[in-house]
Amino acid sequence: MKIRSSLVAIAVAFTASGCLSGSQVFEVAPGVYTVTSTGDAYVSADQVRNSVLMKGTEFCNRKGLLFAVVREERSMTRLGIDTTISLNFLCYPKSAGPKPFETTPATGGPGRPDI
């Protein structure tokens, strides 16, 4: 009976823990990268978002560069119970300071690549 209780406890732990999977970082345009993560119903959208942000930040840090988000897309997959977040980002030199994008006169906003 003790073994059976232990097996049930292990099965419940695996079921409740959820699953988070992600892609490698890929270059989609010169200097622009993308990474994607998907979490099942047991993983919050915030956890999925943190996963892609961490992957992008770590990728840029390994190059000695800073990280900047260009575009973020969130979608519901697999019958609407999984969350997938795709992130396009840039790595830029630390010497560029906190604002790697220039303001464009036409929009008054950041001039970002159209990816």
Q: Tell me whether residue 100 is in a domain.
A: no
pLDDT band at 105 (very low <50, low <70, confident <90, very high): very low
Res. 47: pLDDT tops 80: yes
* Best CA proximity match to 87, nearest among 37, 40, 47: 37
Per-residue pLDDT reduced to its tens digit, 60-83: 999 999 999 999 998 877 666 788
Q: What is the distance between the alpha carbons of residues 115 and 113, in angstroms, rounded to a whole number?
A: 6
Antiparallel, parallel or unpaired: β 82-92 and 32-39:
antiparallel
The number of folded domains in the chain is 1
Q: What is the distance between the alpha carbons of residues 32 and 97, in angstroms, rounded to a whole number?
A: 18
Q: What global pTM score does this model have?
A: 0.65
Domain limits at 45? 17-95
Q: Tell me whether residue 36 is in a domain.
A: yes
